[in-house]
Every structure is written in structure tokens, then in C-alpha cells.
Amino acid sequence: DTAEMYPVPMSDPSWMPGTTEKFIGSWLAKNSSAVREDVVLATKIAGFGASAKIVGNRRREETTATGRLDRASIKSACDASLARLQTDYIDLYQIHWPDRYVPIGAFFGSPAYNPALERADAVPIRESVEALGELIKAGKIKHYGLSNESTFGVCEFVRAADELGVPRPVSIQNSFCLLHRGFETELAEACAPSNFDIGLLPWTPLGGGALTGKYLDGASNAAEGRLVKYAKYGFHQRYLNDPSRVATAEYKKIADAAGVTLATLALAWCKSRFYVSSTIIGATSMTQLKENIDAFGPDIVLSEETLVEIDRVHERCRDPSIMSDFS
């Protein structure tokens, strides 16, 4: 899973969009064509207001235009991603965030909806779906998905797809972890197999690394973590606010009692949710990668008692990463 805007944070002076796609593309090019068939390759088009640097990078030209999700932008972005990835098709092409106003508390600001922030010029969802349908017909993408989307948005995408005779979205990549469980309410209902059957791909299931315990008091390796390295850019600092630290410490106790690491607990918990079809993991070392992958092994199953203890902590401190500091 990658995106046209990666790597992050964008506020780093050395940031260049598309670099991550190029790395993946160079790896694909060095391996046989048979490898491509075994890889499920996903990437994303940036949504409304994306940096002009991202938009210009699609055609390698300078521009003042910022991101939109109109037909031309979607097709241009897809072609650019295909070129960087050095492949003929993308298995899952995702809209990174909507064109219309949506309060994404997992990014910044309040999660409360404010009608005053609605934009009359938002690209209609129907136009975006038409463009995605054309990419499917052209063989450039196999499926499309949503990201950082709301229940209303999911329903509108499905409605537009049905009216246009275009396949429905197959996935939604939203923030979801022990410190942010917002998806499990009405979004889970809309996306359930019995309704729209749209699988959740949780992003930052370890809360930016906070759910490894490395930032808890007394941890010895916090300085190596990206929440410290990129603190000056405000990168994912919400997972280190006071309520998040309190909740993380409680989850660490549960993990210790269950005989697993905190990271394993957090990932295995995601795996246990009926609406999760896969989970977006991230690692900066082979040791971390092995721990992440092992958490999804058949021998890692959280007991009912452990799941109940997790819910008890959640009831005491609901979605703490979306709250302000108590201090």
C-alpha cells in the first residue's frame, strides 16, 4: 500500500511526492513478471487541496493547481502512478481523502461536522465514480477503494456506482486502532458484509508507533521513534497526548497479562474485528516487520477475557487520540 503523496511528513524540507511509488516500482522492475501476479498493489490519489507539488509531479511540471477529484485529475494521477510503479495495472486504487468537506479528526481539528465549511464547488462523487469506472474498463485498475471517508460518503459512492453500472468500492482505509475506534459504529454497519460489503483496511493500527509502548515513561528507545524525530512537524502527536498515554499504559498491562507484546496485542485486536479485511502495517527494521507479521499468525488469538479487558479500558477512555490534552 502506497500513495502518490508518499513519503510523509510532507512538511519535511526534503519531501518529494511519488518517491515511495518509485521505490516499489524499481523493485518490481528488478523481479520477474511472475512476482507481479503475486503482489496486491494498492496506491492512492490525493484529495482536495493536495499540494501543488503533488499535482505538478503527475506531469513533471510546475503548477499552482492543488488537488481535486475530477475526471481529468483522477486519470492523470493514475497514469503517473502507473509510470512510477512500473506496472500495467493497479490492483486497488484508492481516493486518499474526499473532495468535499469532511471533518477528519484523525488528521487534525475537530471531528464535529460544521456546515459552514461546506464547499459549493466540491466535485460530485458521481464524476469521480465515472472516472474510476473508466479506469477499470481500460484495465488500468482492478478495483477502487475509499479512504478517510464518512458513512454518508460510503453510501453516496455506492449509490453513484449502482446508478452508473460501475462496480462498488471494495475497501475503505480509515484510521483505526485501540486509540481511535470511531469506525466500529455506523461505518461498520454500512460496510458490513450483510450491507455494502466494504472491507476496512486500518491505517496506523499501532497509533503511529505509540502502541508499541516505546513512548511510555521509562522506555529506552523513544528517541528513535518517528513521533520524536518528526515532532517538530506535528506528525501524529495526537497519539502522545495525555489521555492517549494513559490508555496506552493500560493496554500495555493487558498485553503483559496475555503474554504478548503491546504491538502484537494492538494488531491482533484489529484482526479480531469482523469488518477488517487486512491491516496496513509499517516498520523501519526487520525486527519490527517480523513482529508485525507474526501478530497475524494463526497461533495469535486474543482470549475473550483479554478482549473484555480491552473494552473496559476503551469505556473509560474513548478514542483518546481525538481528545485534547488534559494538562
Whether residue 101 lies in the annotated active site: no
Between CA 252 and CA 212 the distance in angstroms is 9
Q: What values do phi and psi take at 12, rounded to 5?
A: -70, 130
Helix (H) or strand (E) holding 93: strand 90-95
Calculate the alpha carbon distances from 116 to 54, 119, 123, 151, 152 in Å.
Answer: 28, 9, 18, 20, 17
Q: Counting beta carbons within 10 angstroms of the beta carbon of residue 220, is it exposed (0 to 12), middle (13 to 18) or buried (19 or more)?
A: exposed
Distance of CA 112 to the CA centre of its chain: 20
| Angle at 279 (CA atoms; ends 214, 41), nearest 5 degrees | 120
The catalytic residue among 6, 93, 251, 275 is 6
Residues marked active site are found at 6
